[in-house]
Amino acid sequence: MKALLIRPKPDKETIGLQHVMICEPLELEYLVSNVPEGLADEVTVKIYDFILEKKTFEQILLEEKPDFVGFTGYITHVRTIKQMARKVKLYNPNTKTAVGGVHAEVVGDDFLDESIDFIFRKNGIACFNAVLEGAVKNQDKAIIDERIKAIENQPYNYSYKHPDRKSVENYKKDYYYMFHNPCALIKTSYGCPYNCSFCFCKEITSGKYYARDIEDVVAEISKIPEKEIYIVDDDFLYNEDRLKKFIALIKENNIEKNYLVYGRADFIANNKELISELKKVGLRAVIVGIESIRKTDLDSYNKKTTVQINEACIEILRELDIELYATLILPMDFNKQDFRNLTNWLKDMKITFVNLQPLTPIPGTEIFKDYEKKLLVKRESYEMFDMAHVILKPQHLSVREFYSQMLISYYKVIMRPANSIRLLKKYGLKENLKMLKGSQRVSLQYLSKIIRG
């Protein structure tokens, strides 16, 4: 039996960060490595990453002649996955199809389609294996459906074998995250211990938080050949004792890597010494949800931080020479003066990298119900829920003006001469040109929005 696992290319409408980062499909690598031994003897599983794949999907179907095709994706991939599943059924109506991933787990009904046989809403690895086993045994779909329902009624299970990184060997050289190049991914925990109202991540595990054994994490890191590692936890900088153990084990095993992680501003502000120790074992950059420079916004997001905490965090990271990738949410009540205030604050704080995201109520999040009737786009315009499109009506600006102000603020911050000089010295001309080219592609997408209005 032959099974294909597919990561789709984003829709052309989606304003894509894939122009400045392409990360490995870790969730698919976990599927490959966790096929049970007996079943693995009867099934060949291959990953195709269509962000990088040169062949067309139709060519792959004709060459591989799969018995099963599984898809992974976010909300922005819903329409694309349905279209690809229909192509599978046109190729061979008997080929089984399934979809998993974070959006399928939270809002699985979005994938309801006659061309998609199975939706993995929980414990996706076990569901995947159930489908493979059922297909090998030629079981009816109804029997497999019952097995999947039983699996989804079980508690969350995160005890997995390490991902099979060789399964994406053809693409590995092209996986990177901005200046982290080449870059490998690792996940050391699931869910988020906090409760921000806009957050989709906490919904995936129904608000629960699960952390892997840190010895197992370090054992996995020791086997990763890449120097640059992106720890894709929703919040790695959590639990001081766990982080201290991580530091000790990295030193004990003489592991020399560079790490990019997610972390909260309050943890960094309150744990300067610990962050300094993490820097010594390779912490190179932190993605921090600064979110806003207004107290009212931070309170409404249930962020539990303050502007002062954010500023303390920024100062600590700058002092320790740890790169900060700041993300901010742009509320719909922003006017031109608000954009100027934000731009000036970002410049005053010497922010180098910033991602400005229009407030986007993702289906499945706590805030979606508050904004559902205010959407400028249809609920089914999946590709536009990318946290880059303006999908809510601005109160004081036109949509065109809002996009314009976003772009102006962004370039005023990142294109400061001091910024450019520092980045050239630190990363070299080649990497900077690559990032410039990528950011220009994103800017062109925004410019098309401004022109169209």
Q: 410 lies in a domain?
A: yes
CA distances from residue 408 to 49, 213, 265, 344 in whole angstroms, order as listed:
34, 45, 26, 12
- Considering the domain architecture, whether residues 38 and 177 belong to the same structural domain is answered as no
CATH of the domain at 229: 3.80.30.20
Question: Phi then psi for 228, rounded to 5 degrees?
Answer: -95, 125
Q: 201 lies in a domain?
A: yes
Mean pLDDT of 269-280: 99
75: Cβ contacts below 8 Å, ≥ 6 apart: 103, 107, 110, 362, 363, 382, 385
- Considering the domain architecture, whether residues 386 and 245 belong to the same structural domain is answered as yes
Whole-number mean pLDDT of the chain? 96
Q: Give yes or no for residue 79 having a pLDDT over 80.
A: yes
pLDDT, tens only, 115-166: 999 999 999 999 999 999 999 999 999 999 999 999 999 999 899 999 999 9
- Considering the domain architecture, whether residues 123 and 254 belong to the same structural domain is answered as no
Q: 212 lies in a domain?
A: yes
Mutual angle of helices 240-252 and 272-280, in 10-degree steps? 20
- Considering the domain architecture, whether residues 191 and 317 belong to the same structural domain is answered as yes
Q: 157 lies in a domain?
A: no
- Considering the domain architecture, whether residues 219 and 112 belong to the same structural domain is answered as no
87, amino acid identity: K
- Of 152, 184, 204, which closes a domain? 152
Tokens of 368: 């979606």
pLDDT on residue 195: 87
Q: 294 lies in a domain?
A: yes
- Considering the domain architecture, whether residues 106 and 209 belong to the same structural domain is answered as no
- Considering the domain architecture, whether residues 376 and 355 belong to the same structural domain is answered as yes
CATH of the domain at 85: 3.40.50.280
pLDDT, tens only, 187-235: 999 999 998 988 888 899 988 999 999 999 999 999 999 999 999 999 9
- Considering the domain architecture, whether residues 172 and 132 belong to the same structural domain is answered as no
Let me know if 149 is exposed, middle or buried by CB neighbors in 10 A (0-12, 13-18, 19+).
Answer: exposed
Q: Give yes or no for residue 257 having a pLDDT over 80.
A: yes
Q: 159 lies in a domain?
A: no
pLDDT, tens only, 359-389: 999 999 999 999 999 999 999 999 999 999 9
Question: Phi then psi for 295, rounded to 5 degrees?
Answer: -60, -40
- What's the domain count of the chain? 2
- Considering the domain architecture, whether residues 278 and 403 belong to the same structural domain is answered as yes
pLDDT on residue 17: 79
User: Helix H segments across 57-194?
Assistant: 57-64, 78-91, 102-106, 124-136, 141-152
Mean pLDDT of 28-51: 97
Q: Give yes or no for residue 176 having a pLDDT over 90.
A: yes
Domain housing 330: 165-452
| CA gap 30, 28 in Å, rounded | 5
The answer to whether the CB of 104 falls within 8 A of the CB of 85 is no
- Of 89, 119, 152, which closes a domain? 152
CA distances from residue 46 to 41, 85, 133 in whole angstroms, order as listed:
14, 17, 17
Q: 158 lies in a domain?
A: no
| CA gap 10, 22 in Å, rounded | 12
Mean pLDDT of 245-253: 99
- Considering the domain architecture, whether residues 67 and 205 belong to the same structural domain is answered as no
Mean pLDDT of 284-311: 97
433, amino acid identity: L
pLDDT on residue 87: 99
User: Helix H segments across 283-416?
Assistant: 295-300, 307-319, 336-348, 368-371, 399-414
- Considering the domain architecture, whether residues 432 and 319 belong to the same structural domain is answered as yes
Q: Give yes or no for residue 453 having a pLDDT over 70.
A: no
- Considering the domain architecture, whether residues 263 and 147 belong to the same structural domain is answered as no
Q: 337 lies in a domain?
A: yes
- Of 114, 130, 152, which closes a domain? 152
pLDDT, tens only, 412-430: 999 999 999 999 999 999 9
User: Whats the size of the chain, residue-wise?
Assistant: 453
| Range scoring the smallest mean pLDDT among 82-96, 225-239, 421-435 | 421-435
The answer to whether the CB of 310 falls within 8 A of the CB of 265 is yes
User: Helix H segments across 257-367?
Assistant: 265-270, 272-280, 295-300, 307-319, 336-348
Let me know if 55 is exposed, middle or buried by CB neighbors in 10 A (0-12, 13-18, 19+).
Answer: exposed
